[in-house]
Structure 1
Amino acid sequence: MSKDLTNDVGYANDEIGLNELFSEIWRVKFWLGGISFLVAVIVAAYSLTLPNIYRSEALVVPVEDGAGGKLGSLAGQFGGLASLAGISLGKGDSNKSVIALEKLKSREFFFKFAEKHQILVPLMAVKEWDPQSDKLVLDADIYNADTDTWVRDVSWPKQPKPSLQEAHKAFLDSLTVSQDKTTGMVKIMLEHVSPTIARDWTTALITDLNEEMRQRDIAEAQSSIAYLEQQVADTKITEIKTVLYQLIEEQTKTLMLANVKPEYILETVDAAIVPEKKYKPGRAVMVIGAAVVVFIGGVGFLMIRLVMKKEK
């Protein structure tokens, strides 16, 4: 009875010793090594067809929004008083840097950026980069440089010419924005086959983002000042007028800062440069990784085969 139970459980017959496994591996070592080597060669050949990707990065720090903070403080202090006159002071805009970083990845911002800097061709039709001439080599199956036409073969809803939505997705795949929660420093990183373009686009992103936020605050401050001045003219309550004049003063400060400070939201600590070393692909890692995976898979196959033999 105990013998049958042992056979049913299978522990006595189905266990595979390490010596047995090593013996099986040694028996097929040439096959296992040969297949691993062949896969490594194939992966190495494939990796050589991949273009080098360069990453340029810039370190920036969000500019403290003093005017917005004071405006929010005034709103909290005098909001109840102003509401008696039918005036809403709002809460101030103390999260401009958060808005700016989200806007950096938005479709609206990208559409403007793509049109201004004409990035569609170098983003969507590039094949590789020629380091000797520092020029892009375009994929002839996607874009005909001689006739300035898109020739890629795609199915609906895509068109031969990539849409800005499609380009936006590709752009986000190459863009990385990370913020150190301790220091508040923000690192903006962009990848491209051309190190020069990676540097230029990273720099342009910061410049355009600052300009967009700057113009946004200029327009808001001008509208706010006009509104507040109208409220001053309409109210006869001295205390309310005092609050309004302080609000006008803070909006004027915002307007002044926006007009004189180009790096309005993000101040550059370490500007983007042309990277000398590629970021990816890691060809050695790809080759070694492929060989190791195949070898481990082969060992796993041998173990399964030994178990099946034991069960017979």
Structure 2
Amino acid sequence: MLNKEAHHNYLPPPELSEVISSLWSFKIYIIILCFFAAIASAFIAINTPNIYRAETLLAPTESLQGQGSEVSSQLGGLASLAGLGGLDNKGFKTEVAQARIFTKDFLYQFINNHDLLVNILAIESWDKETNKITYNDDIYDSETQSFTLPEDKNLHWLAYKVLNDNLIISKVPGGLINVAYEHPSPIVAQYIVEHIIKDINQLMQNYDIEQANNSIEYLNKKLTQTNVADMKTVFYRLIEEQTKNKMLTEIKSEYIFTTLDPALVPEEKSGPRRALIVAVSVILAGMFGCFLGLIRFYRAR
């Protein structure tokens, strides 16, 4: 009896033609879904402001200038013994500079030095025809020139997050480096890329000059504390090398990164890809409609 009842309730798998026929009968609903998805996505795409991408191509300055001098390599061991560390640490500087760009300390200082709070947080769109900037009223009041965000919001933290999220640094085959920034205003995007490179070059240069000064001061102090002629000779050579390194550091205009292709104000937008947004939305709506049609078909069975 149970076997007969189970056999009676058994339904064979549906034929493909049955499924297609059922979906075809549901086509009007699928078309309606696609139609509304197209309208909604087109409205969103049209009202999404253009994004512009400014970028620059860089080469590590050290790679263009070759390796350190023979004297530097010879004195590296002596410098280590004197407590200064190796003199030839160039290979690590580019990596350190890239890492420092994304640090809170550097970006906070960068935002303050260039007064970028409004440009990073408040600009909503830019009109190419009139060269006019539109500000987000929910964030910034352009008439009073003041932020409208709640007082508990840390503006510098928000600006740091936006800057960090839209700043892109990538390595290019051949050891080159690409730095890009995306922003609703092409002028702001170009400004940020150009000055980030200038600032990180200056920061690393100042740091190395300070380290050289400290090394020279330390070596002079050690020189006065020894009466051994051979050690004095070593200290004189180290002081000479550190002084030379300091002079070479001071004369470099692009200390860490050398610009091969400077950041220009972009003429064309990089996004959003409005046609793609609409196409993907319609496809997803069609797939969702087919899914509903399949549910309807299996329920009917």
TM-score by length of 1: 0.86
Q: Distance in 2 between matches of 1:132 and 1:69?
A: 58
- Residues 68 and 178 (structure 1 numbering): CA distance in 2 closer, same or farther, change over 3 Å? farther
Q: Which moved more, 1:54-63 or 1:243-252?
A: 243-252
Contact 2:79 2:86 in 1 (8 A): no
Q: Distance in 2 between matches of 1:165 and 1:134?
A: 29
- Residues 15 and 79 (structure 1 numbering): CA distance in 2 closer, same or farther, change over 3 Å? same
* Aligned counterpart, 2:78: 78
Identity level (%): 31
- Residues 69 and 192 (structure 1 numbering): CA distance in 2 closer, same or farther, change over 3 Å? farther
Displacement of 1:136: 1.7
**Is residue 129 from structure 1 mapped to residue 131 from structure 2 by the alignment?**
no
Contact 1:100 1:213 in 2 (8 A): yes
* Deviation by residue 1:38-71 (Cα, 9 ceiling, x = unmatched): 1111110111111100000001011218559975
TM-score by length of 2: 0.89
- Match for residue 166 of structure 1 among 116, 134, 158: 158
Number of equivalenced pairs: 296
Q: Distance in 1 between matches of 2:60 and 2:171?
A: 10
* Aligned counterpart, 1:138: 135
- Residues 60 and 69 (structure 1 numbering): CA distance in 2 closer, same or farther, change over 3 Å? farther
- Match for residue 106 of structure 1 among 98, 103, 106: 103
Q: Distance in 1 between matches of 2:134 and 2:74?
A: 55
- Mapping of 1:212-227 within 5 angstroms? 212-227=203-218
**Is residue 205 from structure 1 mapped to residue 200 from structure 2 by the alignment?**
no
1:74 partner amino acid: L
Secondary structure of the residue aligned to 2:193 is: helix
Secondary structure of the residue aligned to 1:268 is: strand
* Aligned counterpart, 1:228: 219
* Deviation by residue 1:10-35 (Cα, 9 ceiling, x = unmatched): 9x725232211211121121221121
* Aligned counterpart, 1:29: 27
* Deviation by residue 1:140-178 (Cα, 9 ceiling, x = unmatched): 2321222222113x4x742xxx42122101111111011
Q: Distance in 2 between matches of 1:264 and 1:16?
A: 71
Secondary structure of the residue aligned to 2:62 is: coil
Contact 1:58 1:202 in 2 (8 A): yes
- Mapping of 1:1-312 within 5 angstroms? 7=7, 13-64=11-62, 66=67, 74-75=75-76, 77-78=77-78, 82=81, 87-92=82-87, 93-94=89-90, 95-152=92-149, 154=150, 157-158=152-153, 162-180=154-172, 182-310=173-301
- Residues 4 and 202 (structure 1 numbering): CA distance in 2 closer, same or farther, change over 3 Å? farther
Contact 2:117 2:155 in 1 (8 A): no
Q: Distance in 2 between matches of 1:239 and 1:6?
A: 103
- Residues 14 and 276 (structure 1 numbering): CA distance in 2 closer, same or farther, change over 3 Å? farther
Displacement of 1:281: 0.9
Q: Distance in 1 between matches of 2:204 and 2:45?
A: 42
Secondary structure of the residue aligned to 2:208 is: helix
Unaligned runs of 5+ in 2: none
* Deviation by residue 1:279-312 (Cα, 9 ceiling, x = unmatched): 11111111110110111111122223333333xx
Q: Distance in 1 between matches of 2:130 and 2:217?
A: 54
2:210 partner amino acid: A
2:164 partner amino acid: L
2:75 partner amino acid: L
Q: Distance in 1 between matches of 2:275 and 2:145?
A: 38
Secondary structure of the residue aligned to 1:307 is: helix
Q: Distance in 2 between matches of 1:68 and 1:14?
A: 83
Contact 1:67 1:250 in 2 (8 A): no
* Deviation by residue 1:184-218 (Cα, 9 ceiling, x = unmatched): 11100001111111111111111111111111111
- Residues 262 and 144 (structure 1 numbering): CA distance in 2 closer, same or farther, change over 3 Å? same
- RMSD over aligned Cα atoms: 2.7
- Residues 61 and 5 (structure 1 numbering): CA distance in 2 closer, same or farther, change over 3 Å? farther
Displacement of 1:239: 3.6
Contact 1:56 1:275 in 2 (8 A): yes
